Amino acid sequence: MGDDSTHSTGELRSDHRGAFGDYGGESSGLIDRTFRERIVLVGVTMPDGSADETDASLDELALLVDTAGADEVGRIHQRRSAPDPATYVGKGKAQEIKDMSLAVDSDTVVFDDELSPAQQGNLEKILGRSALDRTAVILDIFAQNASSTEGKAQVELAQLKYRLPRLRSASRTFSQQGGGIGTRGPGETQLEVDRRRLVRRVHKLEDELRKLAKNREVQSKARKKTSNRRVALVGYTNAGKSTVLNQLTDAGVLAEDRLFATLDATTRKLALPGGEVLFLTDTVGFVRKLPTQLVEAFKSTLDVVIDADLLLHVVDASAPDVQGNIDAVRRTLHAIGAQDVPEVMIFNKTDLNPDVSGLMSRFPGSVAVSAKDGVGIDGVLDVLSDRLRSMTELVELTVPYDRGDVLAKIHREGQVLSETTSDIGMVIRARLDPDSKGRLAEWLSGADAVPEVVPEPWEATSESS
Ligand SMILES: Nc1nc2c(ncn2[C@@H]2O[C@H](COP(=O)(O)OP(=O)(O)OP(=O)(O)O)[C@@H](O)[C@H]2O)c(=O)[nH]1
Ligand SMILES: [Mg+2]
């Protein structure tokens, strides 16, 4: 976090080691990493879910907590018809969580679903230790992994938006049962000061991000001007997106056995065997219950996904719940407005799970690869060529001999298959995408020429009959 957040916490809680909980704007990490915090996980199964789903989600939460630098030391389930508005779990369950926390000496309790600021505050009072939710853990990992200026700003903005409604007096401690005369007033004043400081920081970051997004827009406009297609790698975190990019383009981006290793979009040129050149972009990974603050903050980075001609959806075929991961990715694609971009499924890590025939038949047109070893990467190139070609149209154009500029344009924008001479000019057969075809409409010959709009006979007569 920026220098705005470096003032000291003042007092430390003797009965509590977790660094998180006060949200006073004083610590950048939500989980203390001077030691490995001991964490109890809590999952609640609502009527629309199953215990198995809760368990799978908690397994993933344990992985997230581990990535953030802490250890799971206990796990508690509850079935409820609805969350308790005050404490999320029931009061009795909260007591049970406290007992377990004492028994296993945990520092922090992490809930698998988002807690409201009030629930979080109430739970911390009951539990006597930090109560976090999945969102906080994911924000924490993003904060650790952000490296570019834009990535850092995006993550800090998401964190601030998460923390603002949760700001509480920094003088509050977990052992303290009430502020008492004298402690309350100054505490609240400090709270107001903190809040204003954070709001100013939010505005500053939003401003910075707007400028950075403008820059990117200029770059992407330049890319749009070329007729090169744009393809984006999307998928669940750790599925192998960066590895696929590296295999296809020697991009040399970081690929690691770690959740959310990639936060920044990296774009590389890729020349297909047929000669066509496209732009391939690696993007941030998705996960179940991705915090809305993060999706919002990363919106401009994710524009490459919305603007893409095609998505390569990389799936870890060896994951415990492949379909669940695919669904989570698609939900996020929907949330950012990219649900209509055509998608090719790439089933990766077939060295760990060679039997992907069921998946392949469920997703026609998909490819199986082991990206780490480069196995099947040629298949990805073939599918890219095929899919991109099917998005172009084979057309014939006639261009007068004195229009070298138009000839050059056709070569630039499309794939020229043949050129022959005729009385009236050069006759060219080429593959063009719909945009280029529109721009070159006046040169289209024969059946490709844009027809005048004539009402279909049945339309013309339907009114009078
Ligand atoms: N066994 C096996 N491991 C793979 C394969 N492809 C990638 N991996 C490993 O999976 C881990 C994640 O790969 P990345 O390419 O970083 O995955 P990503 O989808 O970019 O992940 P994030 O950027 O963190 O969302 C790395 O340790 C890779 O070495 C594969 O085909 N087989
Ligand atoms: Mg990556």
Residues 329 and 433 in one domain: no
Are residues 170 and 298 both part of a single domain? no
Please give the pLDDT value at position 11.
36
Query: From the CB of residue 306, how many other CB atoms can be counted at a distance below 10 Å?
Result: 15
Ligand 1 contact via 238 beta carbon (within 6 Å): yes
CATH at residue 104:
3.40.50.11060
Minimum mean pLDDT range among 44-53, 57-66, 175-184: 175-184
238 C-alpha vs ligand 1 centroid, how far in Å? 5
Q: Say whether pLDDT at 66 is over 50.
A: yes
For the Cβ of 371 lying below 6 angstroms from any atom of ligand 1, the answer is: yes
Mean pLDDT of 1-15: 36
d(CA 290, CA 406): 48
From ligand 1's centre to the CA of 285, what distance in Å?
11
Q: Which is the closest atom of ligand 1 to the Cα of 370?
A: 31
Same-domain check for residues 252 and 342: yes
Among candidate residues 402, 391, 372, 369, the one with its CA nearest the CA of residue 436: 391
Residue 465 within any structural domain of the chain: no
Q: Is residue 364 domain-shared with residue 403, that is, in the same domain?
A: no
Rounded to whole angstroms, the Cα distance separating 243 from 252 reads 9
Predicted pLDDT of residue 24: 31
Q: Which stretch of 49-58, 80-89, 149-158, 299-308 has the lowest confidence by average pLDDT?
A: 299-308
Place of tokens 């499309």: 414
pLDDT for res 31: 65
CA–CA gap between residue 140 and residue 159 (Å, rounded): 8
**Hey, what are 161's tokens?**
């938006």
Average pLDDT over residues 417-444: 90
- Whether the per-residue pLDDT at 445 is higher than 50: the answer is yes
123-142 pLDDT, tens digit per residue, is 999 999 999 999 999 998 88
Evaluate whether 281 touches 267 at the Cβ level (below 8 Å). Answer: yes
> What pLDDT digit, counting tens, does each position of 256-265 carry?
888 888 888 8
Q: Are strands 266-271 and 130-133 parallel, antiparallel or unpaired?
A: unpaired
Q: Backbone dihedral region of 337: left (phi > 0), alpha (psi from -120 to 50 degrees) or beta?
A: left
Average pLDDT over residues 364-390: 93
Same domain, 233 and 359: yes
DSSP states of 44-104: EE-TTS-HHHHHHHHHHHHHHHHHHT-EEEEEEEEE-SS-BTTTBS-HHHHHHHHHHHHHH
Judge if the beta carbon of residue 363 lies within 6 A of ligand 1: no
- Angle CA 88–91–97, to nearest 5: 80
The reply to whether 234 and 262 lie within a common domain is yes
- What mean pLDDT, rounded, does the chain reach? 83
pLDDT at 217: 76
Instruction: Write out pLDDT tens, residues 189-214.
Output: 778 888 899 999 999 999 998 998 88
281 pLDDT more than 50: yes
- d(CA 255, ligand 1 centre) in Å: 6
CA of 314 to the centre of ligand 2 (A): 11
Strand arrangement, sheet containing 130-133: 71-79, 38-45, 108-111, 130-133
Token reading at 49: 């879910």
| Angle value at C-alpha 351, between 350 and 352, nearest 5 degrees | 85
- Residue 223 is assigned to a structural domain of this protein: no
The pLDDT, as a whole number, for residue 448 is: 61
Clarify whether residues 68 and 192 are in a common domain: yes
In a domain, 57, yes or no: yes
Residues 382 and 407 occupy one common structural domain: no
Residues 77-109 have pLDDT tens digits of 999 999 999 999 999 999 999 999 999 999 999
CA 237 / ligand 2 centre spacing (Å): 7
What pLDDT does 251 receive?
A: 80
User: From the CA of 119, how far away is ligand 1's center (Å)?
Assistant: 37
With a 6 Å cutoff on the Cβ, whether 313 touches ligand 1 is no
Task: Give the nearest ligand 1 atom to 245 CA.
Answer: 15
Among 10, 282, 61, 262, residue whose Cα is nearest residue 145: 262
Indicate the number of domains in the chain: 3
Residues 347 and 436 in one domain: no
209 in a domain, yes or no? no
Position in ligand 1 atom list of the atom nearest CA 260: 24
| Single-letter residue type at 356 | V
Res. 15: pLDDT tops 70: no
SS3 296: helix
The CB of 241 under 6 Å from ligand 1? The reply is: yes
Amino acid letter for position 191: L
Q: Note whether residue 396 is domain-resident.
A: yes
Q: Does any domain span residue 464?
A: no
When mean pLDDT is compared over 2-11, 26-35, 263-272, the highest value belongs to 263-272
Kindly state if the Cβ of 240 falls inside 6 Å of ligand 1. yes
248 is a domain residue: yes
Nearest to 397 by CA among 425, 373, 433: 425
Best of 234, 246, 256, 280 for a ligand 1 pocket test (most atoms within 8 Å of beta carbon): 256
Q: Is 94 in the pocket of ligand 1 (CB under 6 A)?
A: no
Tell me which residue range forms the domain holding 355. Answer: 228-389
**CB of 266 closer than 6 A to ligand 1?**
no
